[in-house]
Amino acid sequence: MDAYDRIVNILREKTRFIIVSHISPDGDAIGSTLALGEALTKLGKKVTLYNRDGVPSTLGFLSGSEKVVADIPPENFDCAVLVDCATPDRAGQAFERAAIAGPKVAIDHHRIDSASVDVACIDDTAASTGDVVLRILKRMGTAISRDIAMCIYCTLAVDTGFFRYSNTTEAVLKTASELVGLGADPWTVAKNLEESYPAERFHLLARSLATLTLAYGGKYAFMDVTQRMTAETGASIELSDEFAGIPRSIGSVVISALFREMQTGKIKVSLRSKEDIDVAAIAKKFGGGGHSHAAGCSINGTLAEAKEKIEAAVAGIIR
């Protein structure tokens, strides 16, 4: 019995689920939550969808997004399903402390060292966690509705950079095609995610781009987002979530970093790379993680201190 079978058995057997994804959720976290939630609901299960930070407004177009709660209701759950993460701490303290009467299981596609759950279905051959969810639903024989197809298509679009990154394989495009055949609409996803920004985002981007710095012969590029910039432009910090990829798009750059001052006082570092450079290894040094071309971590200290630490790690790789 493989990990898929073990998950399928638990999903069939248990009846009162809480589905939870990591804090600061992205399209993969939310799309996976909603797709699995709808599938289990259709099977007659009682399902609570939870994310500490709720659903980002850009993902509000996904069917069922209004059902995601940011507080854990006082219910008796006989199973918790973590999606797009494999350790309860990634879902926030409230979830870590919540009493779950049954197994905690994880569905994810991030390569990890250890999952602190009872059963983990981690498939790093999948481009998104939503793709792992789809494989599970197929194994269960669940019908893929239009809404489920839309959610899973969204996870693929987000995690492949709209079918541009190196994880965009033939299999991914075939799956995407199949999902479109089932009713997923690529333009609706693209429009909501990439064509619906508030103007404040661009005022923030202009300020952030003014800090763009290149180093190591143009191989390393980084930029900042400070609390002052968000305050002065009226933009929320989440509007800078995709800025990390911008310095990487410079031809000479192989590693890019975005340093963001968070309200918590920590510096959130988002790393991106090209070619065979593994930035997840850098992020791990600072307690973070991710994929080889997109990873992140949080560093205690000032912006300057965080930059110094990351630059030292970057130097070890590209010099």
| Residue closer to Mn ion, measured from CB, 28 or 147 | 28
266 forms beta bridges with 300
Q: In angstroms, what is the minimal distance from the CB of 51 to Mn ion?
A: 14
Q: Residue 101, class by beta-carbon neighbours within 10 Å (0-12 exposed, 13-18 middle, 19+ buried)?
A: exposed
Residue range at the interface with Mn ion (CB under 5 A); choices 25-33, 37-45, 88-96, 304-312: 25-33
Shortest-Cβ-distance residue relative to Mn ion: 28
Identity of the amino acid at 233:
T
Contacting Mn ion (CB under 5 A), which of 11, 18, 28, 123?
28
Report in angstroms the alpha-carbon separations of 44 from 12, 40, 231, 252, 265: 10, 7, 46, 54, 44
| Residue closer to Mn ion, measured from CB, 11 or 83 | 83
For Mn ion, how many residues bind (rule: CB under 5 A)? 4
Residue range at the interface with Mn ion (CB under 5 A); choices 23-31, 136-144, 165-173, 230-238: 23-31
End-to-end CA distance of the chain: 46
Q: In angstroms, what is the minimal distance from the CB of 30 to Mn ion?
A: 11
Q: In angstroms, what is the minimal distance from the CB of 108 to Mn ion?
A: 8
- Residues in Cβ contact with 30 at an 8 Å cutoff, skipping those fewer than 6 apart: 21, 51, 55, 56, 59, 62, 65, 68, 151
Q: In angstroms, what is the minimal distance from the CB of 194 to Mn ion?
A: 17
Helix segments in the chain, DSSP class H: 3-13, 27-42, 93-97, 129-140, 146-159, 170-181, 186-194, 199-209, 227-233, 245-248, 279-285, 303-318
Per-residue exposure over 147-180, b if at least 16 CB sit within 10 Å of its own CB, e if not: bbbbbbbbbbbbbbeeeeeebbeeebeebbeebe
Q: In angstroms, what is the minimal distance from the CB of 132 to Mn ion?
A: 9
| Residue closer to Mn ion, measured from CB, 88 or 289 | 289
Contacting Mn ion (CB under 5 A), which of 38, 123, 147, 159?
159
Tokens of 3: 């990990």
- Residues in Cβ contact with 93 at an 8 Å cutoff, skipping those fewer than 6 apart: none
Contact characters 114-143, Mn ion, x per CB under 5 A = --------------xx--------------
Q: Which of residues 167-226 bind Mn ion (CB under 5 A)?
A: none
> How far is it, in rounded angstroms, from Cα 308 to Cα 157?
34
Does 147 help bind Mn ion (rule: CB under 5 A)?
no
| Sign of the dihedral through C-alpha 308, 224, 90, 34 | negative
| Residue closer to Mn ion, measured from CB, 129 or 270 | 129
Q: In angstroms, what is the minimal distance from the CB of 192 to Mn ion?
A: 18
Tokens of 258: 């975005």
| Residue closer to Mn ion, measured from CB, 129 or 230 | 129
Contact characters 233-252, Mn ion, x per CB under 5 A = --------------------
| Residue closer to Mn ion, measured from CB, 130 or 247 | 130
Residue range at the interface with Mn ion (CB under 5 A); choices 22-30, 38-46, 88-96, 174-182: 22-30
Instruction: Provide the CA 215 distance to its chain's centre, in angstroms.
Output: 28
Q: In angstroms, what is the minimal distance from the CB of 44 to Mn ion?
A: 28
Q: Which residues bind Mn ion (CB under 5 A)?
A: 28, 128-129, 159
